[in-house]
Each structure stands twice: as C-alpha cells, then as structure tokens.
Structure 1
C-alpha cells in the first residue's frame, strides 16, 4: 500500500480583531456653544408667529368640531363665538359661558387645546424672562457687583494660560469673588464660574466691558489672550482707562515685546521663551525643571515669594535668614541680588525676594 501524502496544512480562518470594550461613561454636559443665529428682534417675531399659528390651529380644530360646543343658550356657535372661545381657552381655562357638550369635543379640549395653552404660556414666560426679567436682574447684579469690586484681579481670556492663572491665584489665597474673568466663549466662562469667580461674557478689548469690570480700581489686569496683536490692543485700551492699574501680559512672539512695553504693560511673560528655556535645561539636567515647577507653583514644597521684610528680620544679614534664602532685595527702587552684591543688613521697608518652604516654620525645623 502506497503511503498517503500528507494533507496540506489548514490555513487559519481570517478573523477581524475584536474591538476593545470601552468602559461606560456618563454622558457629557453640553460643550458646543455657538453664536445665536438670529437677533433678539427676530427671535421675538418668530415667537409671535408661533403663538399666532397655534391659535389659528386651535381655531381650525374647534371650527371643525363646532357642533360639539354650546353656549348658555344651547345654540350652535358662529365664527365670532368660535374666535372668542379659542382665545379665551388658549389663554385661560375659559369663563364657562361656552362649554363642550360631546365626548369628542371634551377630548379635543383635554388633549389638544390644553397642550397648546401650555406651550403658549411657556413662550410668554420665556420671552418675559429673556427680554425683561433677566435683563433687570443682570443689571441689578452688575450694579451690586461693581460696588463690591475693589483691589480685584481681572483676567482677560480664559484659555490654557488664563485658566492656570486663575487656579494659581485661588491656590495662593485670593478670594474667588475678587477675580473677574472676561472671555467671549460661554463654555469657557461656565468652566471659570464653576470655580466661584465672576464671569463677563464678551470681547475683552471692548471698553464698556472693561469699565463694567472696574479695571480702574483693580489690583491688576492679566492679559492672557491667544493673539499677540489683540494683547497689544487690549493693553492700550486698559491703560487708557486705568493709568495706575498694573498690567501683566502674556506674549508668544518676542518681536512684539517692545510694542507691548510701549503700550503700557508693566510685566511681560513670554510663554514660548520660558518653555524653550526649560526644555533646553531638561536636556542637560534632571532636577532643575522639576525644582522650578515646584518653586513657581503655590502647591509646591518651596515657594518663590516677594514680600516686605518683617520686624523680626530687620537687622539680620540678608544671607542669614532662618528658613529662607534671599535671592534679591529691593531698597529705594534698587535691586540688590545675591550673585552681584554683597550681603547686607536688612532694613525696615526692604522688599525681599525669598525662597522658603511652603510648610510652617515649625514643621520645616522638625523636618530638618
């Protein structure tokens, strides 16, 4: 008997890879906010058309079933009577002078006229709230807010930089009511107001909006918009309204730094340059970048602070403060740095730039 040839190996069947099952997630809140497609006048006109259309529809249905309606004299209603009954019914519950007498007429009134009445009342109430009540309430709240705003911080732009600045201010001890955020995006303002701060919807470069934010009596205005040209325009606008208010502006391109300084910015932060410097330091070091991040953050273990010298520190040498490292000292407008100037006794009124632990002195001493 001849040997049977071995059967060819069986090819594996083609199978589609199984799709990984993603864990269930709760539906997200609304994230898309767009500009209204119609003006307030057009919205009001559309609602008028809707109410008139519903009334005409109710009249047509009642006219087709007019045999099921009777007045006090038990006679069939005419056109005028039906118009009167329609308007009274959709606006109120009727006066009782005209009533449905058949089962079909009662069902029509219960399941057709009543929903129309509810819709019309919702339209009336919503319109009254949107165009009258809401505006009055907002104006009242705005006036009350303007009386309370003083020595506050105004954040223009709630993007990535603006949101980080707001959270850092809150972490450093600023009251949420003393921070005002201006942004044209409603979704951004909803995220900001969730932290407890005050939000104003609109273009930050609008002078009337800046006036409402009381920038004249603000402690500082932080400009964190994405466009450098807008930042320059916004700086000019703020400086024209509030000549004495401190302006802190973020910029991306170094080429605009001179224009921003001429526009009136007191402090200019170049996010691109700072990020590039940290990236370069991270190439040749392992601990500098984490230390700087820890130093600048309020939640870090050490903080870089600018503060006045305390009474206990007056008379001590600047290089011998317990629990703190003095990296700079400002006296009579002159900056004395530890790397260029010799150590000196601290005097009353000196402004110190120190690196110190975020823990209490007793905790720092115990840890040491």
Structure 2
C-alpha cells in the first residue's frame, strides 16, 4: 500500500524474487501529491542507481542563517553533496522498474483494512494477500490496521517550488534557524540553478500562525531566492522525526518508508533511509514468505535500528527545545567557531545521516 519511493522499491525487489505483487495507491496519478523536496545526499547517489537525467546540478555550498540573517555560517564541500531530483520523474521511473519486474500497479485505490488473508480496498475489489507492506506515509492506515506502531512525533512541512533562469545562481542550500518561522526545525531554500525549493517545517503545536502563513511570510524574504521563471508548485505534509518505530512487522505485514519512521530524526531526510530500509524489508519479507518461519521477522527489528542512532534522537530533542530567537542566534554563533563548523560539516556533509542497514543473506528464489 503506497506507491512512493519506498513502496515501489520494495515492490520491485519482491517481484524480482518471484512473488506476485500488487501496489495500490489512493492517488490517481503519481505526478501529484508529491510531499518531499527530493534532496538526494551523496551517500545515496553513490550507493543507488538513480537516473542522472532526473537529478539537478550538484550542490556543494550550504549557508546557515540565524533569525537576524546577519553573519551567516558558510560551509563548502570539495565533493558533490546534494542533488535535487525531479520527483514525479523518479516515481515514474520507479513504477516502470517495478512493473518490469512483474509488479502490478493500481491507482485510485485506498486501503480499508485486512483480515484472514483478505485485503479490503476502496476503489477496487478485495484481494487475497499473504502479506501487506505499509508504505502509505507518516500517518499510516496500514500500521493501525496491522496493530503495529504509529508515528507520534511529527513535523509539518510546506514548500513552494519554481523554476529559475538557468545559470543565474550558484547551486546553494540556504538554511534558516528561526523558531518564529520553523519552530523546532528550520526554513530552507535550495536552489540548484534549475529549480528553487522554498520551504518551512516545524512542530504543529508551535505553528500558531499556521504552516501556510509561515511559508508565505518566509518566502517573501527568503535568503538566496531567485525570481521565479515559471509556475509555482506547492508541496507539503507530515514528516516523522521520532526515529524508526519499534514494532515494524508482524505475520500479516510490515512497514517501510515514512510509515516506519524511516527518516533521520535530526535532518528529517527520508529518501536515503527509505531505500535502505526497503532493501532490508524486501529481503526479510521474501524469506518469511518462502519459509513461513515467523522468527525471520525478527531481523526487521525497529528497536535494534533505533539503538544505532541514539545521538541523533538526542540532538532532535535539543533542536526541538530551540523556541526563542535569542537561543537560535546563540546556536548559530556557536557554529561560527572551529568546533562548531566541524560539527555542522559532519552533519551536513558526513556519511552518517542514517545508519547502514544490514541486509541478511537472501534465501533461494521462490518457485
């Protein structure tokens, strides 16, 4: 359930193992309802085969701003750190790959529950299914239907995307730490010289003005913004930042992507972990479906994954506590020191945005 990147990647891997896979999504077209900025980090670009023509120019420059926007911290990498993807194109590519592997795709279909091996669907006839993969987002209906854990710590994000005149800007990632605009997180402009993404995100209980109002306010004076060269697209939605959920699997199914909380608690980046955890999920699900041995599901252990990034969860709690402009100013001032710049570079340019997910050796292919 869910034809985002996590769902389509998992479906492809299961279909390649010989299983009969159906992917259902409530959207009628995968080109709408995009919720992510589409930032792929260097580690993902190195480890996964993504179509180069769907990726924008590389970004090496990051600028961190305090609420006053004065004396920002500028960081530069010698390597290509980020590339922003054409996400509708990425979804279309992932769909083609899943279908080429044998998976079937049904759009305009909503999950309505499952029992005794039958999945009820709004918009389609019920289907007999041995296993359900919940890839249906941060507020997963499948998670509740299967009695698995659900995300409880969420940011709400909103973003404007518009094309920019080619060659008029240096690809740069601008980040603003200002709790008046993005309480508990940050506001951003990432302009790769092709498109500019202007967004805010924060804890909903602190966004008293509403996320849309805060986005409009920020966009009016966002740093590094380029003049739009075409239509503006709006994106937005919930972002789970509580870490990987503890109970991810049961004999009836498992969770992947945002539904599993597979998002870096600190950076809120979810594309890298969704691909890594999807590979683990497909391996575990395949082994379980072949053997029927419920002990196999223990490999997909959210508790073990959470233990691998306790530091990021601690930093998330500290970040959430930055609720005044004065504290934010002091935090950015600390980043101007040698130690602060090194710490910021490690977070922004390092390889540790999400722990490496161990992939068990697969069992023989299904007959």
**TM-score normalised by the shorter chain: which range applies?**
under 0.3
> Higher helix share goes to which structure?
1
Relative to the length of structure 1, the TM-score reads: 0.24
Name the structure, 1 or 2, with higher relative contact order (CA <8 Å, separation 6+).
Answer: 2
